[in-house]
Amino acid sequence: MDKPQIAFIGAGNMASSIIGGLVRSGHPAERINAADPYPPSLEALSSIAAVKICENNAEAVANADVVVLAVKPQVMAQASDSIAQAVQATGAVTISIAAGVTIASMQSRLGDKAAIVRCMPNTPALLGCGASALYANSWTSEKQRNYTESILSAVGMVSWVPSEQALDAVTALSGSGPAYFFLFMEAMVEAGVELGLDKDTASALTLQTALGAARMADENGLELAELRRRVTSPGGTTQSAIESFQHNGLDSIVAKAMQAAANRAAEMALEMG
């Protein structure tokens, strides 16, 4: 695939991570433009890659095939207005990584026939091991979908979803998911301390156990339930713990929490218009 000219509007944490990943994976820095009103963000970005720093958003997108809107949701309207004319002239695809900003609200600013991809990334993208879901509107071509996929793949795995509504479920799963694992790990550390371990030891063992379990699940190719069965000897310690979780309704606790997150994601999209 040829390398698209990419414009980043907003050069903060997410933009820097994606640009870093792109350049490491062989995307030429001179095919990346960036604009941001906050000079320290641009300085930090320049130390990562020799991208072209632009005076303003319109200049950044003028020759772009792909525009990545990497700004906070509350400034999306302003940022979209600043690129609308150029995007309409070039037919570039615009990717939004802002939570809760709908395709309809972006089309109302970028044009009815604008190619738009909505992306829901998560925080581990900042370390290059994110999980992003993508939804494209019908004006987005196959080539533009491929461009989008290659850009988000620079910071982790990518998955397309068939409807915009599915992004609410994604928000509840991988978007908020890192915090669920932190919460579970916090509880394990506390329980370890109650069982008599010191906090540092409990924290180190919890963290390494989480990393090891995630790697096993990733590398083994087995179903999660099968992996669990293989470390659960009949009548053993793990079985006692698993039965306690099941007796106390872990599945239903997780399902209710994720439903609450999905409901909130849908509400937030309505609030943002």
Query: What is the contact surface with ligand NAP in residues (CB under 6 A)?
Result: 9-15, 35-38, 41, 57, 70-73, 75, 78-79, 97-99, 121-123, 126
Strand 66-69 vs strand 6-9: parallel, antiparallel, or unpaired? parallel
Tell me how far apart the alpha carbons of residues 18 and 48 are, in angstroms, rounded to a whole number: 11
The CB-of-139 to ligand NAP minimum distance in angstroms stands at 22
Q: Measured from the CB atom, is 115 or 265 closer to ligand NAP? A: 265
Please answer whether residues 63 and 3 qualify as being in contact, where contact means their C-beta atoms are separated by less than 8 angstroms.
no
Q: Measured from the CB atom, is 75 or 227 closer to ligand NAP? A: 75
Tell me how far apart the alpha carbons of residues 173 and 69 are, in angstroms, rounded to a whole number: 23
Q: Is the dihedral of CA 108, 109, 111, 114 positive or negative?
A: negative
Q: Which residue is nearest to ligand NAP (CB)?
A: 12
For the chain, the C-alpha Rg in angstroms (whole number) is 21
Tell me how far apart the alpha carbons of residues 107 and 99 are, in angstroms, rounded to a whole number: 16
Tell me how far apart the alpha carbons of residues 268 and 168 are, in angstroms, rounded to a whole number: 10
State which H helix or E strand residue 70 sits in: none
Q: Measured from the CB atom, is 54 or 189 closer to ligand NAP? A: 54
At 228, which amino acid appears? R
The CB-of-271 to ligand NAP minimum distance in angstroms stands at 14
Q: Measured from the CB atom, is 121 or 202 closer to ligand NAP? A: 121
The CB-of-225 to ligand NAP minimum distance in angstroms stands at 30
Q: Measured from the CB atom, is 95 or 114 closer to ligand NAP? A: 95
Please answer whether residues 51 and 159 qualify as being in contact, where contact means their C-beta atoms are separated by less than 8 angstroms.
no
